[in-house]
Structures are given as structure tokens and as C-alpha cells.
Chains A and B, each alone.
Chain A
Amino acid sequence: NAGVTQTPKFRVLKTGQSMTLLCAQDMNHEYMYWYRQDPGMGLRLIHYSVGEGTTAKGEVPDGYNVSRLKKQNFLLGLESAAPSQTSVYFCASSQRELYNEQFFGPGTRLTVL
């Protein structure tokens, strides 16, 4: 049982390049989330999904797109990377019932030059 895994762990992009971050969970969780963590800002929600085929915007969605084609996977895409997207990205998942805890992946450290 691997929990929540993220690929890749590190990435350096040039401004304007695109990439996709992959999150996978093996706990059969309905809800999945993408957060970003910046120094002095805490974690902020980018997008989330309440089930396969559904996605919704969080508080900082601009410049990102997401897809949830399979229940166990949640993809975060950057179409045209900007230096402001340099951050650490965390994926999380939880069961449908809101009293359950949220589990986090190890993070992806992204630098945009």
C-alpha cells in the first residue's frame, strides 16, 4: 500500500514550457486535491476533484489545468510555465466522508527559470 505518490520529485523548466505532474493513490479515495506551498504563504488549494471525471477550481487555479480520467489518478498540467509557478506541489486524497483525514504525497519541487 503506497498511499499517495507523485511523479516527478523534482523538475526544472524554462519559461513557456509545459509539463504534467502525476498524482496516484491506491486507497480508493473519492476526493483528490492539488496544493502549492510557497515560503511564508502556507499551502494553498489549486484544484480539486470529488470523483472520477470531475474537477473544480480552488483558490489559485490560474495557469493550471487538471484532469481525473481514472479514480486513482489526478493530473496537474502547466501549459506555459511562468517563474511565479516555482513552488512545491503537493497532492492529497481523502475518502468522501468529511470526517476522514487527508493524506499527502511527498511533493514535487518545481523551478521555472
Chain B
Amino acid sequence: KQEVTQIPAALSVPEGENLVLNCSFTDSAIYNLQWFRQDPGKGLTSLLLIQSSQREQTSGRLNASLDKSSGRSTLYIAASQPGDSATYLCAVRPGRGSTLGRLYFGRGTQLTVWP
């Protein structure tokens, strides 16, 4: 069974810092990996989707990398802002198995950016 781990569980930084969130997964046979943002009491907003054949994806101040062979992904946030405060979830889509298309989620990193 695929297991996804996110480190750290919580992170508190001052505004303006560049930061890295880590995600690791146990089975490297994946179709893709998706990073989500979740605000308190809200749903999941997709940030970036990286296919298994890709090494990285960028959107604005966000950059996600994928090293499939080592089972790792990082989400890099540049010049953090208080509005970035949220929980960030990593999820992988397995490349094999019977549950078509499902995602396996990590428990998230709770980010607080203070002014």
C-alpha cells in the first residue's frame, strides 16, 4: 500500500522567507503527484500537478519538484506572504493497483506566515 509522509507537520516563518515543504512516498510507481492547499474549514485547492515523467512544475511563486526514483517531492514557496498561511497537502496517484485514479494523501504541513 502506498504511504505518503509530509515533513514538517507544522512550520511558522516570518514574511518574506523562502521555504520548502517535503513529501515522500513509499511506492515509486506513480502516475502523478498533486499538491493542494487547504484553508481552515475549506475544501482543497489544486496548486500543482506533476506527471511521473516530469521533474518540476512552476506556478507563480510556487515550484514543485519530483524525484520519482527516490520517492520524494518538494514544494518551494518563494518570498512567503501571510496569505500563504494554510495547510499544504501532497497526494500521489498510483500507477498500479485496482483502485483506479484514487489519490493517497499525506497528513499535510500546516504553514503559518507572520508579518
| Interface flag for A74 (CB, 8 Å) | no
Interface residues of A (CB under 8 A from B): 31, 33, 35, 40-45, 48, 50, 56, 58, 90, 92, 94, 98-99, 101-107, 109
Question: Across chains A and B, which 10 residue pairs bring their CB atoms closest together, nearest first?
Answer: A106-B43, A104-B44, A43-B105, A42-B105, A101-B49, A42-B107, A98-B31, A31-B101, A107-B43, A45-B102
Q: How many residues of B contact A (CB 8 A)?
A: 26
Q: Are B99 and A45 closer than 8 Å at their CB atoms? A: yes
A102 and B34 contact, Cβ closer than 8 Å, known pairs A42-B107, A43-B105:
yes
A101 and B34 contact, Cβ closer than 8 Å, known pairs A42-B107, A90-B43, A90-B44:
yes
Majority SS at the chain A contact face: strand
Q: Are B51 and A41 closer than 8 Å at their CB atoms? A: no
Q: Are B102 and A33 closer than 8 Å at their CB atoms? A: yes
| Interface flag for B103 (CB, 8 Å) | yes
Which residues of B have CB within 8 Å of A102? 34, 46, 91, 93, 101, 103
Q: Are A99 and B51 closer than 8 Å at their CB atoms? A: yes
Q: Are B43 and A42 closer than 8 Å at their CB atoms? A: no
Which residues of A have CB within 8 Å of B89? 42-43
Q: Are B43 and A48 closer than 8 Å at their CB atoms? A: no
Which residues of A have CB within 8 Å of B36? 104
Besides A98-B93, A104-B46, 20 other CB < 8 A contacts? A41-B107, A42-B107, A43-B91, A43-B105, A45-B99, A45-B103, A50-B100, A58-B99, A58-B102, A98-B31, A98-B100, A98-B101, A101-B34, A101-B49, A102-B34, A103-B46, A104-B36, A106-B42, A107-B42, A109-B41
